[in-house]
Structures are given as structure tokens and as C-alpha cells.
Homo-oligomer: A and B are copies of this chain.
């Protein structure tokens, strides 16, 4: 009885919530530079995305080269003197696909790495050591040795205990590596990352580097974390870094050569899912609110905001302006890639709404559990979004749900969906859980090129003793 009453109330409330929370139409294909063909198919540069699935299989990652080129050019926009406003080192961990990395390197982007593997990869891709920045809390001894031996551009120590390790390697190899210190601003991540500016710990670490005798104190590094969207946020943490740089100048007599502002600029079409929105979606199948792209600084605005604040600060003090580093991950590649997935089957009986079972789930799109990502029905763009579906992935786990409330046209088995903004943290968080990992292709000026072939069954046991 109680259960039935609850169901009744839920059903009544659900209708209200769903009406209030109807899906918006803010994020159309045009936001990604895509079009819709006369047949109602999603297309980019005239290439029908459904044809890509036919040719390359499903699931399939598609890198939109022109979008990536555009993001790079925004990051590297020049000022009125024809100079770029900062230097950009791409966060390898965000999307470590060699074809993507080579593409951005060829356009003038350097490498930001956090492991011995990523350092190896950057060198393998032809990055000169002086275009590589090494960060992160987990630098193995082998990685430190390699980085110091090769004279990489900058090694940012994460915490004080790393200083002695790097100094010891430097002494042994007779090197004087350029060192930065990761500093946590008041609004930024802390935890395992860096030292607090406000407690004085960050300054103490900078001092320790300076006094080591073998390390070249070169930079302050910060990475505010989360998703930065506004000028106000940026000005806050940039101001704290500038104040710390002043203290270094005043107390240690060192004019830092580099200020490294890390990443964290949001992808305009992606936003975190709040607890309330998650509850409304799971309980009532309410649509998630779509983010408003204009609420996020564009890349160009963000770069200008940081650079102008730094330049103004040093101009006022009549001191030479340091080099300004950016280490974008999601901001550079997030919205330049999409994941095509297929409906394997529908399960549309009670309870409503029904389920669509997809061939990609959290095994390939882990981020969709905690972030809003727009979803398009690749071949049904002309049909009304008349149905609500819950979208499950294939891995046979109750956590493998990509949406509790997707508003879509009536689907059929075999239909394709495009999950947008798959260009950051999809590939690195991918697993081979019961299903092989998909191919990655690049769509560039109507040409399609394979960047990474799909995993095959044999590959999944290639390192195993099969005897």
C-alpha cells in the first residue's frame, strides 16, 4: 500500500518536474560546427557521421581536426605586436592519442607530462626536451633522472620531498635543472597537490629550491583544478601567483623566468552534474539542464585575461615580464572529439521510460557519469525528441548508465548516437572491460584518417601466458 502510494506520488510529481525540466535547445550541432543533411543525418565538413560508422565500425571516436585547429589558434592568438600571448603545453594525460598529440605539436603546442611513459611518448613524437614540462605528484626516480639528463624545459616539483630527490640527481649528473614549485591558491586544489600559498609552505618550498645550490629556481606552477569559467575566478588565482612571485623577488632576490598557470579552463558545453540534478534525473527522469556556453570564457578571452593581468603587474613594477605558460587539457581538446555509439537493443516494457542498451558505456565514457555531455541521434536529427530513454552501457553493471533521462526520437536497434565533447578524459579512462576498445579516426577537410585502430580480441590477451 505504502509502496503503491509512493509510486503514485512519484508519478504525479514526475510529470511536473519533467515539464519544468524540459530539455533545452541551447546546444545544437552548430555549436560544434556540425550540420544536418537533408536526410536528417549529422555531418561535419559535409561528411555524414553515419557513413563513418559504416566504414570504421562502432563504437568509434571521431576527432574533428578543424575544431582542434581552431582551439589551438585561439590559444596561440597573437597580440598587436604579432607575438603570441603565452606558451602552451598540452596536458598529455587528457587525451594521450599520438595522432592528436602530433597534430597539436605541429601547430606549435608543447608537451606537459606527468609520468615516465608520457615523457617517453613526447620524445618519441619528436618533441625537443626544451618543449616539455614535467609535472605531477608521482615522478618515479627513473623519470626524474631521464628528465634531468635531457635538460627538459621545466620540472615542477609537486611537494618538498621531491626537491631533495631532484637535487641529488642533478648533483650526480652535473646538471642544473630548471625547477618550478606547485603552489595551491585559495580557490585551487590542494590535497596531494602542491603547497599552500597562504600558509607560507609554497614560499618555503621555493626557498628550498633556491638554496639547494644545484637547482635553478625558475617558476611557480599552479593548477586551480575543477572547471574555470569566469574572469573573476581567473583574476583571483592569477593575483595570488603574482603576489607570491613578488615575495620571491623581494625575499630571495630571484625574478622568476616563468609563471605556469596550468589548465582547468572549462569546455563551454560541458558541466558537472549537481547532486540535485542527478536526483531529479534518476527519480523523475528530468532532463539535465544544458550548460550555457556563453557563461564560460572563450579560450581567447581566458588567455587575454591572464596575460594582460600579468603584463600589467610587471609593467607597473617596471620589471621584465616572465614567460607565461598554459597547460590546457579539456579546454584544448574536449570539444574536438565525439564518440559514436550504437543501440544494441531496446528494453521498453514497464517501468517507463525504457532502456536503450548501447555498445559504449562507462567503459569508454566514464566522464558522462559526472558531467553533462550533449547527445545527438546521428540519423534522426529531423525527428522530434518525443521519447525519454535511460541509456545503459554494455558492461553488465548497474553503474553502467550514461543517462537516466535522454530526450530522443523513438529509437530502433542499430541507431547511432553521438556523445559530444569526448576529447578529454574519455580515452585515458577507457577500460577493456569485456569489450575491446574502439578505433579513433580524424576527420579533416572531408578526409578521414585512422589514428588508432580498434582493439582486437587477440590484443586483449596478447601479454598473457595462454599455454
Query: What residues of chain B lie closer than 8 Å to A344, measured between beta carbons?
Result: 138-140
Asked if A195 and B349 make an inter-chain contact with CB atoms under 8 angstroms apart, the answer reads yes
- Provided the pairs A98-B466, A457-B117 are in contact, do residues A350 and B201 lie with their beta carbons within 8 angstroms? yes
Number of interface residues of A (CB under 8 A): 81
Query: What residues of chain B lie closer than 8 Å to A137, measured between beta carbons?
Result: 345, 347, 355, 357, 392, 394, 396
Asked if B434 and A92 make an inter-chain contact with CB atoms under 8 angstroms apart, the answer reads yes
Asked if A390 and B192 make an inter-chain contact with CB atoms under 8 angstroms apart, the answer reads yes
A87 on the B face (CB < 8 A): no
Query: Which one, A12-20, A156-164, A303-311, is touching chain B?
Result: A156-164
What is the copy number of this chain in the assembly?
A: 2
A136 on the B face (CB < 8 A): yes
Asked if A464 and B99 make an inter-chain contact with CB atoms under 8 angstroms apart, the answer reads yes
Query: What residues of chain B lie closer than 8 Å to A291, measured between beta carbons?
Result: none
- Provided the pairs A345-B159, A392-B192 are in contact, do residues A453 and B457 lie with their beta carbons within 8 angstroms? no
Within 8 A of B (CB), among A149-169: 158-162, 165
Query: Which one, A33-41, A72-80, A118-126, A377-385, is touching chain B?
Result: A118-126
- Nearest CB in chain B: distance from A279 CB, A: 14
- Nearest CB in chain B: distance from A112 CB, A: 10
A253 on the B face (CB < 8 A): no
Query: What residues of chain B lie closer than 8 Å to A158, measured between beta carbons?
Result: 347
Bound-complex Cα distance A401 to B191 (A): 10
A189 on the B face (CB < 8 A): yes
A-B contact pairs, 26 of them (CB 8 A): A93-B434, A96-B434, A98-B461, A98-B464, A98-B465, A115-B434, A117-B434, A121-B460, A125-B466, A137-B357, A138-B345, A138-B358, A138-B392, A138-B395, A139-B345, A140-B359, A159-B345, A159-B347, A161-B345, A165-B345, A191-B398, A193-B396, A195-B349, A428-B434, A429-B431, A450-B465
CB-CB nearest 3 A-B residue pairs: A138-B394, A192-B392, A159-B347
